[in-house]
Structure 1
Amino acid sequence: MIFGSINHEKTYSNLNKDILTCFEYARKNDLVDFEKGSYVIDGDEIFVNIVGYETCEKEDRFWEAHKKYIDIHLLLEGSEKIALNFIENLMQNEYKEEDDFLSLDGEPNSYVELKRGDFLVCYPEDAHMTALKVKQKENVKKAIFKVLVR
């Protein structure tokens, strides 16, 4: 996993070209004005989901990981905490291939707090529990880029 700020463009210039394509798309488009939904960037290989929700308590959320796609969470409005762990440290449940969704159970080994402009790249081995409140519940808007693992 990689945690950073979209504003530190030169720091991340050596990342995978598909991840850089997502950052470039975010810089060229005012994603905060996008309606909720899915937007194609490069067919099934790169797309972005614009989502909005209210953050909540850990007890109200779930673990997830993905095998086919890398997730890039880019916060557009608000702040959220994301719990993290590696899938081998958690109990893996059934993988739903049609949704590219692996459900897991267990405890986090770390957390990251995202604020506007912050991103988190989650690779297939990175389990994440999103939408956790930082100090209090709040509404967030986020872009979740999906990059096909090659």
Structure 2
Amino acid sequence: MILDKLANADRYNCLHPLFGKAFDYLKNTDLATIEAGVHEIQEKQLFAIISEAAGVTKDAYKLEVHRKYIDIQYIISGTDHMGWKDLALCSEPNDPYNEIREAAFFPDKTDNWFDVPAGSFTIFYPDDAHAAMVTGENVVRKVVLKIAVEV
């Protein structure tokens, strides 16, 4: 798991062949006005999901993981309160992996919480169980870039 500001994104381009293209998208797209929904960048290997919504409470969150995609979650406006737990420390999922939604959900809770303000991003790999949008009634506009693990 990585947490940093978009101004430092070039430091991470060496971690995946598509990270440079993903960060270029964040830097060169008008994220304040782009329509919510899914935006293809490079077929199924790299795409963006734009959302603007209130989140859930700490009583209602679920830790999730993905197998085929790495998440870069960039906050456009607001502050996203996120949680993290090492997948190796999680129990069996109570909502097993589903290939169509590309996620599994866990009953586990975490003590690792952090705020991600506008202009910052997180990177979650397949071994990072994470909870995002734990913001209660606070609205957050964000983009989740989905990057295929295998290209």
Q: What TM-score do you get using the length of structure 1 for normalisation?
A: 0.91
Stretches (4+) displaced over 4 A? none
**Aligned-pair identity (%):** 24
1:112 to 107, 111, 114: 114
The alpha-carbon distance between structure 1 residues 23 and 102, as it changes in their structure 2 partners (threshold 3 A), is same
Listed as ranges, the gaps of 5+ residues in structure 1 are: none
Equivalent runs, 1:7-18 vs 2, <5 Å: 7-18=7-18
Corresponding letter in the other structure for 2:143: A
In terms of fraction of residues, the more strand-rich structure is 1
Offset from partner CA, 1:85-127 (integer Å, 9 cap, x none): 0112112321101211111121214122111111000000001
How big is the alpha-carbon RMSD for the aligned residues of Structure 1 and Structure 2? 1.5
**Does residue 34 of structure 2 align to residue 28 of structure 1?**
no
CA distance in structure 1 between the partners assigned to 2:75 and 2:137 by the alignment: 15
1:103 to 102, 105, 109: 105
Question: Which residue is equivalent to 1:131?
Answer: 133
Q: What TM-score do you get using the length of structure 2 for normalisation?
A: 0.91
CA distance in structure 1 between the partners assigned to 2:126 and 2:9 by the alignment: 24
The alpha-carbon distance between structure 1 residues 139 and 92, as it changes in their structure 2 partners (threshold 3 A), is same
SS at match of 1:56: coil
